[in-house]
Structure formats: structure tokens, C-alpha cells
Structure 1
């Protein structure tokens, strides 16, 4: 009988989710972090990422409906297998030099990953209680980024005495870990069988028509909260193409790219842990926590990109088939400590900025509502907008846009988005209280606005 079936703890589900992402996008991030998927010529990797994120846009828009209809296990398993397909495609490039398979695999990954990340976002934002959101995000982020650290170790060990494109052994190791990560998704419990820490249930509204739900996601373009956060969403993956390509992919030897990834993703784990101490600090109002968090993020953004600007002023291009980088002294190897210390530390600081940005993004979205169905839509919308930005950014590098121009665009986008995040932070209240349609109508008829002093936020159902 359904009533006799066991319930599963929300924290356990977040831990399992972390291991799914450890094996799938964690490995993808480590691979992408080398620039061009580990190839000397980044063209194939850049075009594959563009195809990925263009397809991601559409799968993200439909993602909330698909997750609500098909469940989290099937959608995350299917999306996870696409990560493995993408890594396998680079073995084909190593042996043929042809990029079509990698670009096609990138497109397939985009279709699967849009739904994958929508399911992930819905779980991460709706399973915790309001005073646990920072903690749960941190648990997930640490396990997830441990995948990037392991990926960096794999890259370092398999290419320690190898220069040029990544070896077949490196790609095969990524493939095996990603397949294991995909199968971990099958261990996830249905949301209806998950209990929060206080014993409350996760309520998912049944989707009867996927198209109608997708249209509900499109209507979020009329939601003032979502419009306000579009710059934050658009820029949240935009900087990856610059950090992974013109910086890590251009300045360092093959083994050092792997070494750098260990510290980039390791810094994310430490940063996320530190940030949760603030975001779940109950003695501070949620508004004050938001303002402090965004202020820290804003300062980190400008400190990191100031350092990056100083580095970028020393070179114009990276190593390629046409020749070595014009950075003074050539490609940097981590064993040359005098030359490597500063650039490697700066790359780790880029990981700190990324963790701050994305943790704050998820946390801010989670302050708007606690409704799991709405959060699935929000997650799909977030990933769709994020993917538009990523598709644009990967093409900037594919079209050989000057490195300094790419840097300037990234820096400006992040600062504009941070201003919007500050504005939202001023509007945040201590609780996301849901109103039914009848309650909403009563408020409207009474001409009663919900004031921030009441510690409520009006969430209008679609």
C-alpha cells in the first residue's frame, strides 16, 4: 500500500544528488576547465559548447514540465548518460581529427543537461527548510565540486609527462566516472516520498500537459522577479569560456591545466562552506544576510577581474597549432614556482568568485517561493537564460574575439548583474509565504499591499 511505503530524509537526497553531479557535470567541468575540452585547438570544443547551450535553452524551458511529468530519477539518469557521450566524443577527435561527432554530442548533452539541471535545481531549492537553504546548497556544492577536484587529479596524473591534447586514458577515465554518476541518479527517491527536516512533505503539482507547463515557464518573462534576475542568470556561466579558454587553456602546460583545476574546484568547496555560515545565520535577518552575501560577491568579482586584467595585459593569445603563447617566457608549468604561483593562485580565486556567484544565485531564487513545482519552473527558466549567455560566450572565443574584449564584457556583465542582486536583496523578507488564489483576490479587493515589514512576500500562482 502506498501509505506504508517509507519516506526518505531530504538531507540524504541532497547528498545523493551531490554524488550524481560529482560524477556527471563535475567531470564535465574538469574537462571543460582545460579549455577546448583538452584539445590544443579550442575550435571544436567551443563549437560543441555553443551547440550544447543552444539546445540547453530549449530543454531548460521545457525542463520544469518534463521533470514534473517524468520524475527526477529518469530525467537525471538520461541527462547523466549524455555527459558520458560527450567525453567519449573526444576520443574520436584524437583518432580522426574530425569534430562533427563532438559537436553533435554537445547538442545531445544540451538536450539532456537542461532537464538534468532543472531537476537538480528543483531538488536543491525545495527540499530544505528556509533556515537550511544555505546548508543544503553547501552540502551539494562541496560534493559536486569534489568531482571537479578528482577530474583535475585525473588530468594531472594521465598527462603528467604528456603535452598536447589530452590522452585517450584521460577521456576514458572521465567516461567511466560519468556513467557511474548517471546510475547514481536511479537511487534518488520520488519527491512525494521525501520528508523535510520538520516532517513536512514535498508537494509537486501533477502536470497533465507538458506544453502548458512550458508556456507557464515562458510567462516568467512577465514576472518582475525573474526579469530582475535575468542579468544574474545570463552571466552565471558566461565567464567560464574566458576562464577556461583565454586564461587556463592559453597560459599553462597540459599537466598544469589539470593541476589548476584541482585548486579551482577545491576553492569552490571551501568558499561554499564559508558562505553557508552567513546564509543560515539565524540571528541576522534574511535581508541583511542577502545584502552582506551580495556585497562580498561584488567585492570578490571586482578583485578577481582586476587581477585578471593585470595578467591579460601581458599576452594576447595562447598556444595553438600556429605556435606558442606570447606570454613572457612561454607556457607556465606549475613546477616553475616563481612564474606559476601568482597565475595559479589567481585561477583558484576565479573558483572562489564562481562559488560565491552561483551559491548566491540559487539562494536568492530560493527566497522567492517554497513551492516545489514553481521552483522547478524557476530552475528551468534560470538554466535557459544561463544557457543563452553561455552560448554567446563560447562563440566569442570560437570567433577569436580579442581576449581583452572578452574580459571587458565579462566584467561589465557581472557588475550590472550584481546591482540587480542588490536591489532584490533589499526586497527580501524573512519568509516566503504562499497565498492561494482566493487569498490573493481578497488582498487585491481590499487594496492591501503586502508590506515587507510583515515579513511576507506575495507569490502569485500562474
Structure 2
């Protein structure tokens, strides 16, 4: 190797011609090229900031900002029921139509969902509300499967935790800002239980912007990493080949099913936290403050988890085991504190005519405030661990999309069941108990994967199985195997 070649930097590695592969600077900051994992994941994060981020802010208020949770519960059942069905096949659809179109179509559902809530404030449109909820499930399945494909397959192996942290932090800034909207509009009102029309209009505008922003993404076949390598895909996929890919994913890695209980549990707790705690016990301005703290805790959690998951002090297989044990301990501690809080009230307590919602000025608010913050922190740790496990099992864009589809499908099926139970007035203590049992039990079931199936590195040859790609297609320029591939 010549002296010149020895000093070649990442920025000097040859890339395809065209504007999307040219690096550029903003001041002293080197941004990289447009079709790089960093830029594309940033765009996806802002799409999720605008669409599901705003949706989370509405959900964090409890009842989607309404005084009664009944309509929001029924819409959520419709959303997660269709999400569960579409989620299983969404990876195949994303592989067929591309991540750019999938993300933009996904944004449509969020806009119509918020429009239906605004209309329902002025007229009874129950049918439209349920349709909007069901449509959102279809659209969200596409959006989250595309997002999962990008986040799991675009980064290099040693960067997956960091990329998750960047995405999760930006995404949850959406929830923070979304919570500040009703907080600002209701900050001087202690007793109001519903948000204003202006709140819904603000959400609609932001969601629409996110839907349009998705159209500016590149599809996965255009992405070039900083070492010159590409994302592993299947060339010219057909609907038949992609549906077959679902089966191949399970056939080639049957141990993935041990992660399914973690997938199922990963949205189960939102219903209890948002309806059973925030909506049930607090007034509107305090709900908005709690929502802000919840999503801010998600950002804090992402900042902590990213470096830990990618830490070079321990091999990846060791990190997988430590992460599972730590998550189990946090489940016992945080949800144990949740049990102490839940003993204070029941559904009958908060539905009584003389019940006064807690305000942030009420003595004793600090305790539940910190509990709600740590529930948000726990959510980030749980989701980051699940995503990291999936990313550690595969670097293939095709397989990652299928894994993300399984994840979102099962996650949504669990959420649909929980929202239905809440709509049917399941006691709050029973909701708490179901969370504690599912979360702790699913970690025990996932232990064999964490302890025995996470490898320190996945050879490229393993990922090329079931695709039409060759080593020549995906290896970086100058790789010693590229010339002989």
C-alpha cells in the first residue's frame, strides 16, 4: 500500500457520481453526503418527530386531549388492530415499494387521525373517527417498518446503538414540543379537561409537513456508508419473493420467536401510563407537563443508552447479556414504585363526583411526577434494547424490514388488546399487574437469545443468503475480498 493510500480518509473513499454523494459543510460541521446513513436517518427522525411524535403528544394527554377516554380508546383499538395485521406484512411492502414512498404514505394516516379528532369536537362523527383510527394503523405499519429497516440496516455494526439514540432523541423532541402546545394554551387553567381547537390544528399542520418531508428521502439502494459499502437488498423484489421472505426470516433464525413476547409487551404499558395515570388523576395543564417530562425522559434515556450499547469496553455478546440483566433489575425497581403509587386510587375513586384532579400545585405532586418521568426513561431503555437485539441479529436491509414488521405487528396486537381492556374498564391495579408480569416474563423468555445468539460480528456472506446481491455489490471500495468476489 502506498503512502498516499495509507492516509486516505473516509471522506476520500470513492463514491458514485451525482449530487447526493457529494459532501458539504455547514460552517465548521462536516455533514457528509445526502445519501449517507447519517443524513437519511436524520430525515427519518424528523418525519417521525412530526407524525408519530405529535401523535404521542396527543396520546400522552390521555384520551387524545379529550375529557373522556372512551373515543380515544375505541380509535386506538381500531388503530392497533389494523396495525397488527399490516405490521406483519409491512416489511414485504416496504421492500417492494421502497422506504421513501412507505414513509410518506405512512404520514397520511396521522394527518387524517388528527383531522377526525378536530371534527369530533363539533359534531358526532363516530364512523369517521373509527375509520381514521383504522387507516392510521395501516399507515403506521408502513411508516414504522420503513423506519425500522433504515435504523437497523443502514448503520455499521459498531454504530447501531448510537444511531438509535440519535433517532430516538429527535423523534421524542416531537413529543416534548407537542406537549408544550397544550401546556402553553392551558397553563393558567387548572380545571379544564380537554384541549382547544388550536391544539388540534397545530398537530395537523406539523403532521402534514412530516408527510411531505418523507418524499425527500432516498431509497435504500442509493445509500453508501462511509466505508463505501452498501445496504444488502434483494434485487428486483416481487410480491411473491417478499412474502416468502417472511417465512425465510423465521426459517433461518427460528430463535427470533423468543423475542416475540418482548415485542408484544413494548406498547402494552402506554395505555396504563397515559390513561390509568395521567388522564385519570391529573388536570389538563398537569397532564401536559407530565407528558413533556415523559418524552423528555425518553431523550435522556436515548443519550444514556446509545453510548452504552456501542461501548467498545465489552464485546457485543457480553453487552447483550449485561443489558438484559440490567433491564430486568429496572423492571423490578421502577414498576415496584408504580405499585406503591397505584395503591392510592381505583377507577371508582377518580370517577366519583367529588374527585378533584391533581394539579402541579397540589401537595404531594413531586412523587408521581418523578414516577412518570422514570416510566418514560424505562420506555426508552426497553425499546432501545429491543431494537439493538434486532440490529445485532442482522445487517441485511431485507431481513431488517421483516424483523421490524414482526416487531411492529406484535407490538400493535398487544396494544390493541390493552386498549380494549381499558375501554372495558379493567381495574387500574389489574392493568399495573399485567404490565409487571408481561415485562418481567418476556425478559426471561428472551434470555436465550441475549446469552447465546448475539454474535460479536455477522459475516457478510451470512447476510447475502436469500438475496441476489454478491460480495462485489456490497463490499467497500478497496476491500481485499472485492477483487476476487
TM-score by length of 1: 0.89
Distance 2:448 2:361 in 1: 45
Structure 1 residues 177 and 324: alpha-carbon distance in aligned structure 2, compared to 1, 3 A threshold: farther
Distance 1:207 1:54 in 2: 31
Tell me if structure 2 keeps the 8 A contact 1:318–1:324.
no
Which residue of the partner structure matches residue 419 of structure 1?
444
Which residue of the partner structure matches residue 237 of structure 1?
267
Q: Quick check: 1:188 aligned with 2:256?
A: no
Distance 2:430 2:70 in 1: 18
Distance 2:116 2:349 in 1: 23
Matches within 5 A, 1:205-224: 205-206=234-235, 208-218=237-247, 220=249, 223-224=253-254
Give the one of 141, 153, 157 matched to 1:114.
141
Deviation above 6 Å: which 4+ runs of structure 1?
A: 437-440
Moved more, 18-27 or 201-210: 201-210
Distance 1:325 1:156 in 2: 25
Structure 1 residues 91 and 424: alpha-carbon distance in aligned structure 2, compared to 1, 3 A threshold: same
Distance 1:87 1:388 in 2: 22
Distance 2:219 2:463 in 1: 27
Distance 1:439 1:79 in 2: 30
Which residue of the partner structure matches residue 10 of structure 1?
37
SS at match of 2:115: helix
Distance 1:106 1:286 in 2: 40
Q: Quick check: 1:334 aligned with 2:360?
A: yes
Which residue of the partner structure matches residue 379 of structure 1?
404
Matches within 5 A, 1:7-46: 7=21, 8-46=35-73
What residue ranges of structure 2 are gaps of 5+ in the alignment?
Answer: 1-14, 22-34, 467-485
Matches within 5 A, 1:237-316: 237-316=267-346
Q: Quick check: 1:134 aligned with 2:161?
A: yes
SS at match of 2:357: coil
Moved more, 353-362 or 192-201: 192-201
Q: 1:359-401 CA distances to partner (integer Å, 9 max, x unpaired)?
A: 0000000111111111111111111111111111111101111
Shift of 1:304: 1.6
Structure 1 residues 190 and 407: alpha-carbon distance in aligned structure 2, compared to 1, 3 A threshold: same
Distance 2:16 2:310 in 1: 34
Tell me if structure 1 keeps the 8 A contact 2:53–2:175.
yes
Q: Quick check: 1:368 aligned with 2:383?
A: no
Distance 2:465 2:44 in 1: 36
Distance 1:318 1:29 in 2: 27
Tell me if structure 2 keeps the 8 A contact 1:128–1:197.
no
Which residue of the partner structure matches residue 123 of structure 2?
96
Tell me if structure 2 keeps the 8 A contact 1:40–1:319.
no
TM-score by length of 2: 0.85
Give the one of 345, 363, 368 matched to 1:343.
368
Distance 1:437 1:273 in 2: 30
Structure 1 residues 438 and 60: alpha-carbon distance in aligned structure 2, compared to 1, 3 A threshold: closer
Q: Quick check: 1:429 aligned with 2:450?
A: no
Tell me if structure 1 keeps the 8 A contact 2:232–2:464.
no
Which residue of the partner structure matches residue 54 of structure 1?
81
User: Radius of gyration: which is bigger?
Assistant: 2
Moved more, 417-426 or 171-180: 417-426
Shift of 1:325: 7.7
Tell me if structure 2 keeps the 8 A contact 1:65–1:207.
no
SS at match of 1:4: coil
Tell me if structure 1 keeps the 8 A contact 2:396–2:463.
no
Aligned length in residues: 434
Distance 1:221 1:56 in 2: 20
CA RMSD of aligned residues (A): 2.1
Distance 1:295 1:249 in 2: 32
